[in-house]
Amino acid sequence: MKTLNRRDFGVDLGLALAAAVLLPATTARADDNMEVHIDNFVFQPAELKIKPGSTVTWTNRDDIPHTVVSAGKFRSKTLDTDDKFSFTFTNAGDYKYFCSLHPHMTGMIKVE
């Protein structure tokens, strides 16, 4: 039976591990304050994972108005270009949200 070592994989294991740590994840995570940008009819990032007590601030970078609405949880005023809306999440759970002016725009906050 042959013993495998890192040369058998054609990649330096240290470099592979470093790349895995440094590459951006598909979701963002923070403990205190997070930002979501509204740009080109998209909430970016589309999903955040945060801890209870964290505040999320949405900023409209589009040229047209948008809103941020989570049914029964929170609702922003209409946000013009560069307007912001913040909400502090105190309870664990999944918070789906959308733009009431453009309902195809959706996002998710996961409070863990």
pLDDT above 50 for 110: yes
This prediction's pTM: 0.72
pLDDT above 60 for 93: yes
Q: CA 29, CA 112: separation in Å to the nearest integer?
A: 10
- Residue 102 has a CB neighbour count (10 Å cut-off) of 15
Residue 42, beta-bridge partner list? 39
Residue type for position 97: Y
Q: How far is CA 69 from CA 47, 55, 74, in A?
A: 15, 15, 6
pLDDT above 80 for 16: no
Non-local CB neighbours of 4 within 8 Å, separated by 6+ positions? none
Tokens of 49: 């994972």
Q: Which domains, and CATH codes, for the chain?
A: 26-111 (2.60.40.420)
